[in-house]
Each structure stands twice: as structure tokens, then as C-alpha cells.
Amino acid sequence: MDASFTIVPYSEAYKDAFRLLNEEWIIKYFQIEEMDRLALHNPKGYILDKGGYIAVALLNERPVGVCALIPCICNGYDFELSKMGVSPAVQGKGIGKLLGQHIIEKAKQLGAKKIFLESNRKLAPALSLYKKLGFVEMVKVKSPYARSDIQMELILG
């Protein structure tokens, strides 16, 4: 990635980008669910105010990718890696991998020992990325998402 690429913490200036980058992929493959609405329309209240974190990838100062860490106390997991979206215009350039690495480092900084994510087997490129980041498939726990048919975990050492 060149010098015009950076990853910054979320601010209200990126509220619309966070929602739109996620809605784009969700609508393409699935449908917006209630849990999506909660997170995407109120990222500050639903994620940040609870101790979470959102990363925003900027290319030429334009938001092109997002990813969140949502605090989670279920099943011994500290956070859920969630709401990762990269603009189709820049997919395949390694932005998702850089966002994923950034989020994993942030989870470690926040003291996390284990994180998990939920996805769908339809999203083969995403699953491939998660495996490259070190996530492994886990036994499915109850999910609030109808579209979730795979869950993965990462033990952070």
C-alpha cells in the first residue's frame, strides 16, 4: 500500500462511511437485519461506548474500508471482529488484510485473549482472509444473525 493509505480510529466524520460500506456488502449478498441496524445506525452507542473500537481505512483521505471490535463476554471471548467492509472499488488490494491485522493488534492492546467472528460460507474471499489472519472454525454458538452459518475464533496468545 502506498503513502496515501492509512488506518485511523473512527470519529463521527466517518459515521456515514461506516454504515454505507457495510450496507453495500450486506445488501449484495443478504438483507439488513436488526443487529445490523443497531450497530450501523449508532456505532458510538452500540460499539464505542461499550468499550469497542472501529478502524477506518483511508485511501487518499477517502474512507474505503471499516472494521469493528465489539465487546463480548459470551463463551469466554473478549471481542467480536465485526462489520468489516471494503469498497468493491478497492477490493483485492490487501486493504481487508491490513484492517484485520490492525484490529487484531488493537484487540491485543485492549487485553483480549480470544476474539471471534461470524460470517457466511458464501463469502469465500472473506473466509480466506480470516484464515490467513489465523482464525479457525469453531463450534457454532447461538447467533443473532440469520445469515451466520460459520463462526471462527482467534486465540491471541
Domains of the chain (ranges, CATH numbers): 5-155 (3.40.630.30)
Task: Place 143 in a pLDDT band, splitting at 50, 70 and 90.
Answer: confident
The confidence score (pLDDT) of residue 2 equals 62
Compute the average pLDDT of residues 96-115.
97
Give the per-residue pLDDT at 40.
97
Rounded CA separation 138/89 (Å): 32
Bridge-partner residues for 57, per DSSP?
7, 65
pLDDT tens for residues 37-76?
A: 999 999 999 999 999 999 999 999 999 999 999 998 677 8
Check: CB of residue 154 under 8 Å from CB of residue 115.
yes
